[in-house]
């Protein structure tokens, strides 16, 4: 006997071919879409909940911003002093930081005539940083710190003495204060 002829049409037990079973696929597609929507909704809700909780965690500390004002200003001043020191060494020039009650200024100096006296460079404007009105700067030794071309505190800015410069920041609203010390080596540290 010869084998039965094979049919090119799919049998009921096998899955239909896409070209021949246009209507039978719609039923299976609609079932798979409804089955997959449930997990996506749960994932969407979990992601939305995570985003909302992250936003709350980020906003919560700023609700009482006066408690974080002094640490933020202190960190900014320390960073600016370190950048001034690094900039002076990198550019092989002098940078001077002048402290005022509610602000400080950073300016580049030049010795254009070579006499050893460093004066403000007219080509580069001074950079002024204004503090919040409740933050006050108190300098116990001098109101100016000058970093030389090696990143050291220039003795000329300290009246010839190599002593550390102490800068005290005080918040008049919270009555808190922090102290920053600038060593003759140019190192800036928080006390």
Output the pLDDT for position 34.
Answer: 52
Tell me if 111 sits within 8 A of 118, measured CB to CB.
yes
Tally of CB atoms within 10 A around 128:
12
Instruction: Kindly give the pairing relationship between strand 103-110 and strand 127-130.
Output: antiparallel
User: Is residue 120 one of the residues assigned to a domain?
Assistant: yes
164 & 89 share domain: yes
131 & 185 share domain: yes
User: Is residue 20 one of the residues assigned to a domain?
Assistant: no
User: Is residue 74 one of the residues assigned to a domain?
Assistant: yes
Residue 125 domain boundaries: 65-190
Tell me the pLDDT of the chain (191 aa) as tens digits.
Answer: 555 555 555 455 555 555 555 555 555 555 555 555 556 787 888 888 999 999 888 877 666 666 678 888 999 999 999 999 999 999 888 999 999 888 999 999 888 887 878 888 788 888 999 999 889 998 654 588 899 989 898 876 656 667 888 899 999 888 899 999 999 989 999 88
User: Is residue 157 one of the residues assigned to a domain?
Assistant: yes
Give the separation between CA 21 and CA 18, rounded to whole angstroms.
6
What does DSSP assign to residue 120?
E
Give the chain's domain count. Answer: 2
User: Tell me, what CATH number does 97's domain have?
Assistant: 3.55.40.10
User: Is residue 55 one of the residues assigned to a domain?
Assistant: yes
Q: How far is CA 162 from CA 104, 110, 119, 141, 142, in A?
A: 22, 22, 21, 11, 12
Output the pLDDT for position 112.
Answer: 80
Tell me if 135 sits within 8 A of 163, measured CB to CB.
no
Residue 187, SS3? coil
96 & 38 share domain: no
**C-alpha torsion 67→68→73→79, nearest 10:** 150
Over residues 92-118, the pLDDT tens digits come to 889 999 998 889 999 998 888 878 788
User: Is residue 10 one of the residues assigned to a domain?
Assistant: no
């Amino acid at each position: 006997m010869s084998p039965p002829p094979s049919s090119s049409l799919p049998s009921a037990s096998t899955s239909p071919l896409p070209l021949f079973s246009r209507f039978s696929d719609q039923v299976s597609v609609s079932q798979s879409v409804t089955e997959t929507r449930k997990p996506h909704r749960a994932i969407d809700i979990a992601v939305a909940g995570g985003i909302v909780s992250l936003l709350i965690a980020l906003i919560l500390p700023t609700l009482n911003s006066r408690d974080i004002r002094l640490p933020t200003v202190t960190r900014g001043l320390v960073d600016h002093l370190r950048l001034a020191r690094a900039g002076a060494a990198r550019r092989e020039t002098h940078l001077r930081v002048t402290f005022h009650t509610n602000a400080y200024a950073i300016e580049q100096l030049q010795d254009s005539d070579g006499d050893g006296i460093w004066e403000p460079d007219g080509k580069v404007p001074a950079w002024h940083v204004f503090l919040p009105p409740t933050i006050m700067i108190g300098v116990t030794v001098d109101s100016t710190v000058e970093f030389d071309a090696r990143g050291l505190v220039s003795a000329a800015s300290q009246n010839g003495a190599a002593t550390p410069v102490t800068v005290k920041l005080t918040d008049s609203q919270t009555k808190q204060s922090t102290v920053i010390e600038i060593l003759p080596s140019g190192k800036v540290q928080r006390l």
